[in-house]
Amino acid sequence: MPPWPGTPYPLGATYDGVGTNFALFSEVAEYVELCLIDEHGEEERVRLPEVDGFVHHGYLLGVGPGQRYGYRVHGPYDPARGLRCNPDKLLIDPYAKAITGDVDWDESLFGYPFGAPDERNDADSAAHVPRSLVVSPFFDWADDRPPRTPYHETVIYEAHLRGLTMRHPAVPPRLRGTYAGLAHPAVVEHLKQLGVTAIELMPVHQFITDHGLAQKGLRNYWGYNTIGFFAPHEAYAAFPEAAGQVQEFKGMVRSLHEADIEVILDVVYNHTAEGNHLGPTLSLRGIDNQAYYRLADDEPKYYLDYTGTGNSLNVRNPHTLQLIMDSLRYWVTEMHVDGFRFDLAATLAREFYDVDRLSTFFDLVQQDPTVSRVKLIAEPWDVGPGGYQVGNFPPLWTEWNGKFRDTVRDFWRGESATLGEFASRITGSSDLYQDDGRRPFASINFVTAHDGFTLADLVSYNEKHNEANGEDGRDGADDNRSWNCGAEGPTEDPEILALRERQRRNLIGTLLLSQGVPMLLHGDELGRTQLGNNNAYCQDNELSWVDWSMVDGNAELVDFVGRVADFRRRHPVFRRRRFFAGKPIRKSDELRDIAWLTPSGEEMKEQNWDDGFGKSIVVFLNGEGIPDLDQRGMRVVDDSFLMAFNAHYEDIELVLPSADYGPRWTVMIDTATGEVADEPNGPGLRAGDSMNLPARSLVVLQRAPEAA
């Protein structure tokens, strides 16, 4: 049966229960062939009959879920001018809701970089590329509701879906490394034990392993090599038959929502897996190269690269912006995700050359009634000129705060003269976010993330050890701001091991008790190590996977993380919605909402901030000075606390401040011992008393009621 005209919108393959509408944008195409592919790889080619607004479209009765398909785009081929149409390339639908198969690297995938039309590689690529799939949009969401956890109550857990579950003994073998595995009750219960309210998944859009890694026998593990912005990665599905990855992903989200855990996706809209002018033609390059990619103004039109991957998407083009926005809306409305973390987000702001915080992309997000209501997190840098943009994103956005990471690492490894910046970072980084009207929760605080050392390696290695990556140690960051505590790598020295455990508690305690949104890295609570590899992007093996057999040996750290997270949850003074003002709460009271003290109990003076020693400080947090209202409109009131930090290698004497701050104090958290109290107990300490503040430790004291 010949195709019906169909409609130009929505783009992609849309099944309605009777047939499927196919629609593909290409401004340069002369005509487009839809290729229907059977289980033997045989093609039936159908020319899309209609074109409206550069969208080629047609409707095929009887074509339904599970149908494999691709496109062949007929049009001009002149790479020097940025034109790369080639009907010998079977192309993935940019709007495919599911994709099956992987790239089988073959010469037919590549063309001459700037050759004339008669020099192009005309070998058919169909046998070597993935296929798009028609999917069913129907799913029983039951009574699924998004948790909508406020930012100031959020605790994020960054995780690799495969790596988190591949070695979990309670997860059935077939479910390990899959969406269904992540939804397993044993995994969910662990997240709940840690106080996690949102899991931030490393890329789950369909991605491929690039040619260079494949030649080395390695795989792209992290997934920052997207080829399908609407498709859940097929390899993460336990039951991928008939596009089952879509149903399985939805089931995972539904299960996590039932546990009040949000799902945030790490998304890569800055580039694709097609690489530079020497890369393969898999999708956008062969559909409309000039529209989708940033090209040089002069000929030959090389790809402009702000990502370090060979290409950058052309966010100046309205159809590229439409692709991104349609993808975001799809994941919110159809897949029920709760937010996005944008990889190399500064690239999306490069309309021309400079990074523009008011670029069209951010305007579209701000105005979109769907996307603007979910969590939006920027990785606020790229590799282009002026690409480090921490603190410069629009008010709707939160940001990975790389300055928090660097400062907290420096403080706890004993770097001098970091007090002033450390104070700013643990109180919400007002220097970065207050001027444009944002709140402390604009800062996504982290000490470790997928890119870099794990927490255990951060306190065990001075240098990276990336030999397994096959790049002779050239890859990965050199500035790790780490300290091995006296020995490089594994050791049996009990003093060094004890110090490393304390340092891990210091870093996690600081992270969870700082103003802003804390983000934990998966497995840090279990002592996960990558043996000093700080760039395990290609290590899809036991080097990167979470080793759940370490639970018993790290039970105390798991308990510490959960108890400190619960302590934070119960005390809103550690998760304020507004910045500290440094002013008295009431006119009749000189006690401010925050005060900085020396270990001797005196208020910090200007010269104290400039002290080169700079390894210890005390901060008073006034629980009566929280300028927030609860859901009933009542003013939020909490207890008051002292947080005493000592990054020095020796114990120091801590003198409690005068009775103006509080008559009695009780130790609630002590990273030297790992103890976390649920409630104040015992006689406590009086104002003016002295106590020992152990070397390299964080102690939190709670003020007792006036009547005590």
Give the residue, 386 or 137, on which the prediction is more confident: 137
d(CA 335, CA 486): 48
pLDDT digits (tens, 9 = 90+) for 558-615: 999 999 999 999 999 999 999 999 888 766 577 899 999 999 999 999 888 887 678 9
Which DSSP symbol is given to 705?
A: P
Nearest to 594 by CA among 615, 573, 610, 609: 573
Give the residue, 381 or 284, on which the prediction is more confident: 284
Assigned token pair, 575 = 């998760």
pLDDT value of position 123:
79
pLDDT value of position 469:
95
- CATH 2.60.40.1180 in the chain, residues? 579-703
pLDDT value of position 383:
74
Q: What angle do CA 632, 441, 506 make, to 5 degrees?
A: 115
pLDDT value of position 389:
86
pLDDT value of position 115:
58
- CATH 2.60.40.10 in the chain, residues? 12-134
Mean pLDDT for the stretch of residues 654-658: 97
Quote the distance between the C-alpha of residue 268 and its chain's center: 10
Helix, strand, coil percent values for the chain (each to nearest 5): 25, 20, 50
- The alpha carbon torsion through 343, 344, 346, 349 (nearest 10 deg) reads -60
Residue listed under structure tokens 């057999």: 549
Residue listed under structure tokens 């890119």: 451
Q: How does the average pLDDT of the chain come out, rounded?
A: 93
Task: Indicate if the pLDDT at residue 418 is higher than 90.
Answer: no
Weakest-pLDDT range from 97-111, 348-362, 431-445: 348-362
pLDDT value of position 708:
45
Q: How confident is the model at residue 674 (pLDDT cuts 50, 70, 90)?
A: very high
Question: Helices (H) and strands (E) in the chain — how many of each?
Answer: 15, 30
Within a 10 A sphere around the Cβ of 42, how many other Cβ atoms?
9
The residues annotated as belonging to the active site are 343, 379
DSSP, residue by residue, 165-210: HTT-TTS-GGGTTSHHHHTSHHHHHHHHHTT--EEEES--EEE---
pLDDT value of position 351:
64
Within a 10 A sphere around the Cβ of 432, how many other Cβ atoms?
22
How many residues are recorded in the chain?
A: 708
pLDDT value of position 147:
98
d(CA 397, CA 544): 30
Burial environment of residue 629 by CB neighbours within 10 A (0 to 12, 13 to 18, 19 or more): exposed
pLDDT digits (tens, 9 = 90+) for 529-548: 999 999 999 999 999 999 99
pLDDT value of position 36:
98
pLDDT digits (tens, 9 = 90+) for 19-46: 999 999 999 999 999 999 999 999 999 9
pLDDT digits (tens, 9 = 90+) for 65-97: 999 999 999 999 999 999 999 999 999 999 999
Mean pLDDT for the stretch of residues 262-276: 97
The CATH homologous superfamily for domain 12-134 is: Immunoglobulins (2.60.40.10)
Residue listed under structure tokens 């899809």: 540
The topology (CATH level 3) of 152-271+306-573 is TIM Barrel (3.20.20)
This prediction's pTM: 0.96
d(CA 455, CA 528): 8
Give the residue, 394 or 498, on which the prediction is more confident: 498
Mean pLDDT for the stretch of residues 104-129: 75
Assigned token pair, 216 = 């080395």
d(CA 511, CA 36): 52
- Please answer whether residues 284 and 274 qualify as being in contact, where contact means their C-beta atoms are separated by less than 8 angstroms: yes
Q: How confident is the model at residue 350 (pLDDT cuts 50, 70, 90)?
A: confident
pLDDT value of position 352:
59
- CATH 3.20.20.80 in the chain, residues? 152-271+306-573
CATH 1.10.3720.10 fits 579-703, yes or no: no
Assigned token pair, 229 = 């912005």
At 194, phi and psi to the nearest 5? Answer: -85, -5
